Amino acid sequence: MKKWQKISAAIVTATILAAGVPSGVGAQAASVPYIFDLSQSGTLKEGSRGENVKIMQRALNREMGAELTEDGIFGPNTKTAVLAFQKTKSELKNDGIYGPATHKALSLEFNTWGFSNEVLKVGSRGEAVKTLQRGLKDMSYHVAVDGVYGPQTRDAVIKFQERFPSLANDGIFGPRTKEVMDKVLND
């Protein structure tokens, strides 16, 4: 494991322990990793300015390839990019206004690895397992990306879990392990 990954893991562990993140499936829904605090304005729309607009533009550039100038000015190009993002999500209203639902969706895209919410363990198969295996591989664990949760994947998950005292070393990719791995991969 690379030095920066060890440092990131230590920081994530300290943050999780200090924050006292609740466990369980309900905690997953409550812990959206927002890219900034939208509560001050409630929405961003054409004419808005500031650091939050700049952060939103950066996220749209990364997630949508929007090629926006990250200048903190919500102009016509930013509105078009917001609208394009909204059209990729069936649950979003396509209005070009960056409100709470769009904020949540973009934050989840930007700050998560794309793991499934299902619990994965030996015997699990499919795209969710491949996503987990890609994440493990990205962290230098030696696993095949074959979509089969076998002994090799279980052992890599256990090695990951052993790095964090708050995780059970059971080889099961459940909500707590997903949350920690997401933070490690995105920090």
Q: Are 33 and 171 in contact (CB under 8 A)?
A: no
Q: Does the residue 74 lie in any domain?
A: yes
Please tell me what DSSP assigns to residue 22: P
Q: Are 159 and 141 in contact (CB under 8 A)?
A: yes
Q: Are residues 90 and 131 in the same domain?
A: no
**What gap in Å lies between CA 86 and CA 99, rounded to an integer?**
11
Per-residue pLDDT tens digits for 123-167 = 999 999 999 999 999 999 999 999 999 999 999 999 999 999 999
CB-based contacts of 29: which residues, under 8 Å, 6+ apart?
none
pLDDT category of residue 31 using cuts at 50, 70 and 90: low
User: The domain that contains 89 carries what CATH number?
Assistant: 1.10.101
Domain boundary, last residue among 108, 136, 151: 108
Residue-averaged pLDDT of the chain: 85
| Domain span at 86 | 48-108
Q: Are residues 136 and 176 in the same domain?
A: yes
The vertex-58 CA angle with 52 and 60, nearest 5°, equals 100
Per-residue pLDDT tens digits for 35-46 = 889 876 689 999
Task: Please tell me whether the overall predicted TM-score, pTM, comes out greater than 0.85 for this model.
Answer: no
pLDDT category of residue 168 using cuts at 50, 70 and 90: very high
Count how many domains the chain has.
2
Classify residue 93 as left (phi > 0), alpha (psi -120 to 50) or beta. Answer: beta
